[in-house]
Amino acid sequence: TCSLLRSPKGFPKLKNDTFLRAARGEETEHTPVWCMRQAGRYLPEFRETRASQDFFATCRSPKLCCELTLQPLRRFPLDAAIIFSDILVVPQALGMEVVMVPGKGPTFTEPLKEVEDLLKLRQKVDVTAELGYVFQAITLTRHSLEGKVPLIGFSGAPWTLMSYMIEGGGSTTMAKAKSWLYRHPEASHRLLRLLADVIIDYLVGQVAAGAQALQLFESHAGHLGPELFQDFALPYIRDIAQAVKSKLKEEALPLVPMIIFAKDAHYALRDLAHAGYEVVGLDWTIRPQEARAQMGKHVTLQGNLDPCALYAPKEKIGELVKKMLESFGTQRYIANLGHGLYPDMNPEHVGAFVEAVHAHSRHINKH
% pLDDT > 70, the chain: 99
Predicted pLDDT of residue 47:
97
The 10 Å Cβ neighbour count of residue 155 is: 26
Q: What is the DSSP string of 68-121?
A: HHHHHHHHS--S-EE----TTHHHHHTT--EEEETTTEEEESS---SGGGGGGS
156-189 pLDDT, tens per residue?
999 999 999 999 999 999 999 999 999 999 999 9
Per-residue DSSP letters for 260-310?
A: EEETT-GGGHHHHHTSS-SEEE--TTS-HHHHHHHH-SSSEEEEEE-GGGG
Mean pLDDT along residues 333-344: 98
Burial degree of 104 (CB within 10 A; 0-12, 13-18, 19+): exposed
Percent of the chain scoring above 90 in pLDDT: 96
CA distances for 9 relative to 89, 151, 243, angstroms: 25, 15, 24
pLDDT band at 103; cut points 50, 70, 90: confident
Please report which helix (H) or strand (E) contains residue 246, including its range.
helix 234-250
What is the pLDDT at residue 4?
Answer: 65
Binned at pLDDT 50, 70 and 90, residue 70 comes out as: very high
Catalytic residues: 37, 41, 50, 86, 164
0.85 cut: is pTM over it? yes
> What's the whole-number mean pLDDT along residues 113-141?
98
Distances in Å between the Cα of 359 and the Cα atoms of 110, 205, 227 are 50, 36, 42
Domains of the chain as residue ranges with CATH: 34-281 (3.20.20.210)
Query: How many angstroms separate the CA atoms of 194 and 97, rounded?
Result: 17
Convert the pLDDT of each residue in 247-299 to its tens digit. 999 999 999 999 999 999 999 999 999 999 999 999 999 999 999 999 998 99
The whole-number average pLDDT for the span 67-72 is: 98
